[in-house]
Structure 1
Amino acid sequence: MKRNPSQKRAIAHLSGPMMVLAGPGSGKTSVTVERIAYMTKECGISPASILVVTFSRAAAKEMKERFLKFTGQEHSPVTFGTFHGVFYAILKQAYGFTAANILSEEEKNSILKELTLELAGELAEEGDFTGELAKEISVVKGNRISLEHYYSSCCPDEVFRQIYQGY
């Protein structure tokens, strides 16, 4: 397939990570597949050190299949995956996490619902209180904010701290 100058630059790009962003049918998958092949065959980069991340399982599967077909291989150590799948694999490998010790969304919501009913009373019945609470807990955890320095926007601070501690 003939490539335009931008696609050729993307295929030959080697100075760090690269994000391919373009509209449907513009050749993103083909460019990414050719870039991976170029990196491994022409530049001697180990396929095991290449991580390809996309948004859906279907896209990751299609990209892997197209890469294998393009290179004539049956298997490759190149990792293709979704954001969630890749990060789950990191948690499994680095920390030994499994599905048994990672909360599902349903489990998380159930725990938060119980805690809010117990500790927040009538607030638990207002709108999407549990969802707002989950977002705030995520902010505190993700930014490593000390509870005494966080002021909740969805409930009194002491109630938030009790729910957070219980969660």
Structure 2
Amino acid sequence: MDIKMFSIGKIVNTHGIKGEVKILRISDFEERFTPGESVYVIKDDKPIKLLIAAHRIHKGFDLVQFKGYGNINLVEPFKGCVLKIREEQLTDLNKDEYYYHEIIGCEVYTTNDKRLGQIKEILSPGANDVWVIKQEQGKDILIPYIDDIVKEVDINAGKVVIEPMEGLLD
């Protein structure tokens, strides 16, 4: 039986000599990295269960130390690996909240039914997320996830409807 897992980050480097790893977060939930939480590092297509011993933010990255991995040599092989959680670790969301994996891949249309493209990634630069839409041709479109623009999200249909404000699609 295959266990469904969801990516929450990527280990981009080690940090210091005490086994900390630098994580580029692709989860919008900081509590994913709370000490005591378990995560899985995917190494050679196999999940390795790890327990978070410590977490802090440093220069926009999450720095995490795993229980039993208190040395740089132990975490060095994890560089470039993806961090995941199991499906049962997902938490319930409020209305109008979505997981990244639910949004990425959705088709985006304007309110007058013009197809713009597919959401390929989500950026978190600050106050609100920015959805990156890959068009068939031309540059990617950046859409801020705000009520004024995003009018409808239908996860089951894989469809997002936006009302572009002036200059957004230029």
Q: TM-score, length-normalised on structure 1?
A: 0.28
Q: TM-score, length-normalised on structure 2?
A: 0.27
Q: 1 or 2 for the larger relative contact order (CA 8 Å, sep ≥6)?
A: 2
Q: Give 1 or 2: higher helix fraction.
A: 1
